[in-house]
């Protein structure tokens, strides 16, 4: 079974700081997805990474994929309070997605 690990599980950071969330997975896959979940809400798609070396950016978030290392990163630049949420990565395997454990991000003013 494909396993997906995220770290850290919990992240508290000050506004204006930079940080990176890591997503490691256990088997070959060229497709990785990042989602955001606000408390009590559903999942919102952030990024779709479909090949080795793919990099996507949206505002203060940038995601990248290294399929050889089986690693994706979600980099946060100059964090703001609105980014507080739980972030999930998901790896595609067959007809299924395998989700990471999630990273709960809190941005402190």
Q: Would you give the distance in Å from CA 93 to the centre of its chain?
A: 17
**Residue 14: CB minimum distance to another protein, A:** 23
Q: Which range in 12-20, 43-51, 55-63, 69-77 contacts another protein by CB under 8 A? A: 43-51
Tell me the C-alpha distance between 99 and 7, whole Å. Answer: 13
Q: Does the footprint of another protein cover residue 74 (CB under 8 A)?
A: no
Among 33, 64, 72, 87, binds another protein (CB under 8 A): 33
Question: What are the backbone angles phi and psi of residue 82, rounded to the nearest 5°?
Answer: -65, -15
What is the distance between the terminal CA atoms of the chain, rounded to a whole angstrom?
40
Among 3, 17, 41, 81, binds another protein (CB under 8 A): 41
């Amino acid at each position: 079974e494909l396993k997906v690990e995220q770290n850290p599980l919990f992240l508290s950071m000050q506004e204006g700081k930079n940080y990176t969330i890591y997503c490691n997975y256990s088997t070959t896959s060229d497709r990785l997805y990042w989602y955001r979940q606000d408390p009590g809400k559903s999942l919102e798609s952030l990024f779709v990474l479909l090949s080795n070396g793919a990099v996507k950016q949206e505002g203060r978030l940038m995601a990248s994929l290294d399929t050889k290392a089986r690693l994706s990163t979600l980099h946060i630049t100059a964090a703001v309070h609105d980014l507080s949420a739980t972030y999930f990565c998901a790896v595609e395997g067959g007809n299924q997605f395998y989700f990471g454990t999630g990273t709960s991000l809190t941005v402190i003013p």
